[in-house]
Structure formats: C-alpha cells, structure tokens
Amino acid sequence: MNGKNEINSRYVALKMCLSVIDGGRSLSQVMPEGLAQFQDARNRSFTQNLVLGTLRWQLRLQAICDQLLKKKLKAKDEDINQLILLGLYQILYMETPDHAAVSETVALVSKLKKPWAKGLVNGVLRNFLRDREALCAEVDLKPSYAYSHPQWFFKTIRKAYPQDWQQILSANNEIAPITLRNNRLQQSRDELLESLNKEDQLAEAHPQCTQGIRLLQSMDITGLPGFTEGAFSVQDGAAQQAAELLQPIPGERLLDACAAPGGKTAHLLELADGDLDLLAIEKEPERLDRLAENLHRLGLECDYRVGDAAAPGDWWNHTPFDKILLDAPCSATGIIRRRPDIKWHRTEEDISALCNLQAQILETLWTTLKPGGRLLYATCSVLPQENGLQMQRFLQENRDAREVPITAEWGLQQPLPGRQILPGDSGMDGFYYCLLEKTTG
C-alpha cells in the first residue's frame, strides 16, 4: 500500500469516526458510504479495521489521550481528538510501524486546516511511545477503561453476570466471525460445504446450528459460489436459533414482527419448504426493501408490508396466528462486536424506554395469537431488563401465558424465564429467547 493511498484511507477513517462520535450517526450508515470510495480491497480492509478498532477501543484510547494532553481539547476540535485516537489505535493494536503511524497521522493535520495542531498531535503520539507501558498500566486500573465500555454498561453487566462479565466485555472487543445459513431448499449443508471448500474457502459446519456454516477467514461473501443464486444467507448462529425454536409447520399461519432485514423470515420459509401463510411486517419502509431483496435472491415468497407491531389495526385481518416471532426492538447490546458504535450511542436512559416499547408490543401481539399458539420473544440484548425480567413481568400479568422451556446445548439457563446466549459462546452473538404458549383453559 503506497503512502498516498494510506493517507487517504486514514482520512476517510477519520471522517467516519467523526460522523459516528461527533455526528451521532450509526456505523451501519457511515461504513458503506466510506468504503464505497475505494476500489482496492486492501484499502477497504485497512480503513474498516481502523474505524472499527478506534470505535471499539474509544474509551481506553481516550483515557490514554487525556493523560497526555495538558488541557482537554475544545468541542470544536473533536477532529483533532479523533485523529490522535486513530494514531494511538495504530500504535497499540495494528501492525503499522510506530514511525509510520506517527508520521502518517501527523500528515493528516494539514487536511484539517488546523496547522497549530501539528506539533500537538506529534508530541502526544511520541510521548505515548516513550511511556507506553506506564500509561497503559495506569489507565487499565479502571476496568471500564481496560475493557473500553461505558461505566453504566460495565456496572450493569458485572451485576447481572458476576461470573461471566469479563468474558462478555472481552468478546465485545473481538472481531465477529462470518456465519452462513444453508438454504436447505437448494442443497444440503454438506453439499454447500463441499462446494465452498472446493473453491479453497475454509469452512466448517456450525456445531449449534443445523444449517449453519462457519467461515474460517474473512472474505467477500458476494463472491462465494452460489451467493447470487440464493444458496445461502449470511446469518449469525445465534439468530439461526429463532426459526429452529419456533418450528414452523407447512400450512401454518405465522407473523414475523419487526422482520427486516429478513434473515429469520427466510429461515422460517426454508424450514417449512416455502409453504407458510406468513405475514412479515416492518415499521421502516427502507428496511422492508432489504427484506424484499433477500427473499427475491433466495427464491422465497411471503406477504410483507410496512406495519407497526404495536398497531395491528393497520395490518391485521383479525384471523389469529398459529405462531408469532417477535424479534423485539432492543438495545442491541449483544452485537457490540459487530457494531461498536452501540457502546457510544446507547445510554442508560434508553433502556427503560425500550423496555416500555417491548412490553407494549408484547401485550398487543398476544391478542393476535390463537389459543394453543406460540410466541417466540427474541432480542439481541444481554440486559436482563429487556429479557428475563421482561418475560417474568409478562408471565405474571398474563395468566393465559405459560413458558415453554428451551432445552439446548447453547446459552445460559437462568432463574429467570428464557435462555441467554452470551457474546462469543460457540462464536455466536449475544441473543435471548423465550418461548411462550397461549393456554386454552
């Protein structure tokens, strides 16, 4: 990678980090826009690594930076602050030689039109190189800095999981693996594995998913054999448990609430040989477009429409559902390793509002379920307030609801209802499931 391209990559990475931290935008919006500027795969990979890593370790890097600055930078100079963090990340976590990390980072100051900051950035990074071990040791005395998580989240996780909090926080800082879900309507999992490995793609069967395949190296998924033809989908192993737990039967009437981008919708259809009376609703129109694209690629069909799960009057024809999948709006704290911006966008105050919304949707959808029917409540959260405590409250308040115990090799069986997958368990994301049945008596 030549110097010009490297500098360009760093500048794009800086703008992306600023958009997330200072502009409040989500990484899912910022990343595609930023990476689209590169044709070269190496530049894309370098930039993505730099952005994800700097956001992942933002709090630890900021604590180190604060020790090195004589006085805190003003809010209008957040670009200089993020530039310093980018430089520190390269020194600490990347294979970039120290001298290159410093010189290339300092060179970017000219693009920011703040010549006064050149000496500051240079001095901070060089002082870090001199006292690296002592500075890191001092910062890491505080666990929330050492694990780079907001204090409120660190305290919540340590209280909820006294035996597992270190594992959870460590897993959140790891690079997430790529998992595929075989489309069983086109071939068996073994056949897809053979096809992938024939192309020298290192892949293995996922131990916790009947159709799951783990890729052992990072790659462009769209270039794999069978992608365009719909031979498989990209879906984490934890998310693949949803359809397996709901066990759709051909001919059943199902609701997939909050369905986009459609991975679980497609899996339900695949398990029932495409023969379901399935309604998929999604509140955001632009996200529904992604669901439609995914179904089309996989050769699957169902009724899908824009709809608010909390307002069934707009989409329900009053025919009860046999089964409902509620992939509830949540904090997404189980997928931080994929979306490190969640650490810095989610606040403690958000959680109670999310819990209220989940409770409202639960109560509403329960009225659309037929007696004897089943509802699977799912979140990609690790917070008990959204998961076990939410289910405990619902079961106490709804006497026609009973929990169907989940027996599985994955996840934690807790005193509270449901089953919790922790981030990193069998390489999976953090997910929660609780299966409910509507009693007939």
Active site residues: 380
Rounded CA-CA distance 28/359 in Å is 27
| Six token digits for residue 289 | 């477009």
Crossing angle (nearest 10°) for helices 58-68 and 117-130: 100
Rounded CA-CA distance 192/185 in Å is 12
| Six token digits for residue 245 | 């737990």
CA neighbor of 335 nearest in space, from 248, 236, 256: 236
Rounded CA-CA distance 317/301 in Å is 20
C-beta separation of 177 from 429 below 8 A: no
For the sheet with 203-205, list strands across it.
203-205, 212-215, 179-182, 232-234
Rounded CA-CA distance 419/382 in Å is 11
Three-state SS at 129: helix
Angle at 354 between CA 431 and CA 63, to 5 degrees: 75
Rounded CA-CA distance 151/155 in Å is 6
What dihedral angle (degrees, nearest 10) is formed by the CA atoms of 297, 302, 308, 311? Answer: 180
Crossing angle (nearest 10°) for helices 237-246 and 263-271: 40
C-beta separation of 230 from 205 below 8 A: no
Three-state SS at 373: strand
10 Å CB burial of residue 71 (0-12, 13-18, 19+) is: exposed
| Six token digits for residue 96 | 């970039």
C-beta separation of 218 from 178 below 8 A: yes
The Cβ-side half-sphere exposure at 417, using a 13 Å CA radius, reads: 22
